């Protein structure tokens, strides 16, 4: 399996999507989910993914339209199309729209997983999306290493995902709700202090023994990681 793979699933069948994302996560793959074409297009445009799994028939914007628009925007992330339309002409249409693979429904998850892994190995994510930098702080998604001014910083898995998400959105306010959805993968009261505790631990690790603070608390909004120069 491709190390630390992150994928986007665009599927309007919520039961199927829940099963799929749960199974991907159990296989060690980080899986985000969008339930319609417009939401999926936004997420795919704003975030870096290794592979996308897109249902062909979607509300608000169909899957082939999503793929075509992504290609116009120079988003070249590999795409696997899922569809109940499995004839040869349907597959050809999907591939010509910009898809990299096509899997008819119903399917076995083991085959879906294998195809996603192949797409991840074949093209992978661009190198610049594997490394995030904010000032002298560096995070390597492939090796799971974090360094500041060349000094290695040891993080727990949740701390690493938290820092990864903050650095991916460097210079932007990240709300507690966003962190719950993208780092913890579930929803509950955004006023809970679990996030504050983890941010405090992360801040102590990446700022202790360094002169310049990078991780800021934006009162009433959330957090931001930024190099003030």
Q: Quick check: 9 and 31 in contact, CB under 8 A?
A: yes
Q: What is the pLDDT of residues 173-214, one digit of tens each?
A: 888 878 877 787 655 555 568 888 999 999 999 998 888 999
Question: Residue 78 is encoded by which pair of tokens?
Answer: 């590999």
Q: What is the pLDDT of residues 117-145, one digit of tens each?
A: 888 876 544 444 678 899 999 998 878 89
The pLDDT of residue 100 is above 60: yes
User: How many whole angstroms separate alpha carbon 8 and alpha carbon 78?
Assistant: 11
Strand partners, 9: 33, 53
Mean pLDDT of 47-62: 91
- State whether the Cα torsion 29-60-178-150 is positive or negative: positive
The pLDDT assigned to 1 comes to 47
Strand partners, 218: 222
Q: What is the model's pTM?
A: 0.53
């Amino acid at each position: 399996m491709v190390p630390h793979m992150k994928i986007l699933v665009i599927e309007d069948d919520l039961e199927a999507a829940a099963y799929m994302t749960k199974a991907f996560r159990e296989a060690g793959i980080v899986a985000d989910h969008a339930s319609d074409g417009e939401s999926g297009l936004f997420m795919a445009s704003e975030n870096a993914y290794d592979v996308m799994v897109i249902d062909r028939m979607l509300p608000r914007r169909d899957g082939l339209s999503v793929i075509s628009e992504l290609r116009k925007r120079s988003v070249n992330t590999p795409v696997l199309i899922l569809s109940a339309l499995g004839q040869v002409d349907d597959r050809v249409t999907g591939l010509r729209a910009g898809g990299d693979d096509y899997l008819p429904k119903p399917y076995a998850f083991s085959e879906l997983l294998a195809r996603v892994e192949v797409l991840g190995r074949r093209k992978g994510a661009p190198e610049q999306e594997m490394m995030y930098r904010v000032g002298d702080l560096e995070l390597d998604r492939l090796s799971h290493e974090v360094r500041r001014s060349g000094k290695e910083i040891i993080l727990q898995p949740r701390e690493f995902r938290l820092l990864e998400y903050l650095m991916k959105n460097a210079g932007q306010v990240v709300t507690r709700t966003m962190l719950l959805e993208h780092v913890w993968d579930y929803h509950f009261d955004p006023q809970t202090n679990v996030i504050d505790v983890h941010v405090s631990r992360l801040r102590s690790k990446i700022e202790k023994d360094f002169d310049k603070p990078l991780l800021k608390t934006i009162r009433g909004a959330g957090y931001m990681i930024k190099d003030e120069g």
